[in-house]
Amino acid sequence: MPENFFTDNADLQFRLEQLDLSQVVELHEDGYRYQDLYPGAPRNYRDAKDNYRLLLTALGEICATRVAPQAAAELPVMISTELISSPPRGSPS
């Protein structure tokens, strides 16, 4: 299983790098007007894109190391034509 769903996926990284999201990011960041109010606020498109890359890296790691293993353990099982839900957490299997 991957350790990070973002950094282990070259296609996702390529897309983020190649997409021109400047207009969308400028709208989302409200014209970068928060840079004087908050030290971590992006100053420009490049800074915002770097912030998004950091966020995607953190989320990729959380999803790969915590969410995916838990989801795999709780997948429902199909037996014959009857769907059997996974047991509730903490109950014996």
pTM (predicted TM-score): 0.72
CB 44 within 8 A of CB 35: no
Per-residue pLDDT reduced to its tens digit, 16-68 = 999 999 999 999 999 999 999 999 999 999 999 999 999 999 999 999 999 98
3-state secondary structure of 20: coil
| Radius of gyration of the chain measured on its C-alpha atoms | 20
What confidence score (pLDDT) does residue 85 get? 65
- Distance between CA 41 and CA 39 in Å, rounded? 6
pLDDT at residue 91 greater than cutoff 90: no
DSSP 57: H
Query: Other CB atoms closer than 10 Å to residue 26's CB: what's the count?
Result: 15
pLDDT at residue 11 greater than cutoff 70: yes
What confidence score (pLDDT) does residue 64 get? 95
Band of residue 73 on the pLDDT scale cut at 50, 70, 90: confident
Band of residue 80 on the pLDDT scale cut at 50, 70, 90: low
